[in-house]
Amino acid sequence: MRVTSCTMILFTLICHLQVHGSSQPQACLPDDSPPGRFVDLLTTVVQAAEGAIQFLDHTQQEMILDGALGFVMFEAQVNASMRKTACTGNMTHVTQTCGRIERRLCLVQRKLSLLVPGAIQAAQTSNPSYYDNFEPMISSEFWSSSSPLTVETDQVTTRPPNGSTAVPIDCATESKCDYCFGLLLGTRRNEEQGPLERCTVSDTCLQMATLPGCTEYALSHQMLYFLMARQSGCADILDHKLKMAGALGDLSDWLHSLCSRMLNNNMVQFSSGEMNHDLFLENVGLCGMAGVQGAVRLEWLPAILNIQDPATGCFCRTDLQQPVKKRGREKRLDTRLSNGCSQHCTAVGVIALGAYIEHFMPQVCCAVKVA
């Protein structure tokens, strides 16, 4: 679990590296930073991940799908982080600073490989039909093909399809998202024709995913639609559909645009001190998974770590006797366990940790070769 001195270490780094005067979220980590500068910081994040693994170990058989999926995505992030220690080009591996963290992360990797299958099985048993709709994405391999998006957010311009604002459609709801996700994954069936082809992009789903003005969970689910399209290998089909509908921007542009709004919302929450912890973590985790620049910010890390309960390792633990206060559009399916832990919040919490680990590992483990 976290040590008490970690917050002071984090704030010292934040004060040194803080980026001022930017209108867009940016990564606060300079490329030429000495690897040792981030060792303590990355160690703290790995400690938090180890705590989350303990939570998974104790609650494996109680997992619902959204809880299990968070750890599946986190497993993909850890695997990618370990691959990034194989430095390329003019970079060389820094064994002295990296070895200890690599060993700890390797243990996390091993524990995930043992625990995640049981969590998936429990989720399938608890709700078979819900599981069937998402089965293709419930593997770390599905999420391992993601690649960084390097275009700056302020260089991206998007516009919804022609006439989309006149369509009588609401912002994304859970049931509509589930249907549209199933079309991308090829798990939906037509009563007359049987299973529909993978990468089916209906007009309704396209309009829902590009509808302007959506906020909070509806906004993050719009972004998730484009992320799932990319991971499902549907980018070309979706880009063609966007073009034919008169929309401006391709799939990558829409990921950038939607994440920019999500991360700006996080900045507002963080500045005001009024945070929806679950949504804040979801925005960081999903945009980090997409590889969008600016998802990882140093000044957010202490707040993220403080959302984790040090006793259980879960995120957003609450008193079961207190009613849950719903804010804005409802998030995806969630279950609070007997200890007060939120499965959904823990799922997005570990994905947020994964975004930081994946970002920091190359900076700690790789350094410019000295001639």
CA–CA separation, 231 and 94 (whole Å)? 32
Q: Is the pLDDT of residue 70 over 50?
A: yes
- Which residue, chain included where needed, has tokens 């003019």? 90
Phi then psi for residue 91, to 5 deg, are -100, 150
Q: Where do the structural domains in the chain lie, given as residue ranges? A: 1-19+26-126+295-371, 149-292
Residue 213 token pair: 């003005």
Phi then psi for residue 27, to 5 deg, are -70, 135
Contact between 204 and 169 under an 8 Å Cβ cutoff? The reply is yes
Contact between 27 and 359 under an 8 Å Cβ cutoff? The reply is yes
pTM: 0.85
Calculate the alpha carbon distances from 199 to 107, 222, 243, 366, 368 in Å.
Answer: 36, 16, 16, 38, 42
Calculate the alpha carbon distances from 281 to 133, 137, 302, 315, 350 in Å.
Answer: 24, 20, 12, 10, 9
Q: How far is CA 109 from the centre of its chain?
A: 18
Split at pLDDT 50, 70, 90, the class of 338 is: confident
For 212-225, give the DSSP string: TT--HHHHHHHHHH
Q: Is the pLDDT of residue 303 over 90?
A: yes
Classify residue 139 by its DSSP letter. S
Split at pLDDT 50, 70, 90, the class of 330 is: very low
Neighbours of 197 (CB within 10 A): 10
Contact between 29 and 359 under an 8 Å Cβ cutoff? The reply is yes
CA–CA separation, 356 and 41 (whole Å)? 10
pLDDT tens sequence across 222-260: 999 999 999 999 999 999 999 999 888 999 999 999 999
Q: Is the pLDDT of residue 2 over 70?
A: no
CA–CA separation, 314 and 347 (whole Å)? 9
Neighbours of 118 (CB within 10 A): 15
H or E element, residue 154: none
Classify residue 332 by its DSSP letter. S
Classify residue 9 by its DSSP letter. H
CA–CA separation, 56 and 112 (whole Å)? 9
Q: Which residues contact 99 (CB under 8 A, 6 or more apart)?
A: none
pLDDT on residue 162: 60
Contact between 312 and 339 under an 8 Å Cβ cutoff? The reply is yes
Averaged pLDDT of the chain: 82
| Residue 95 or 349, more confident | 349
Dmax (CA) of the chain:
68
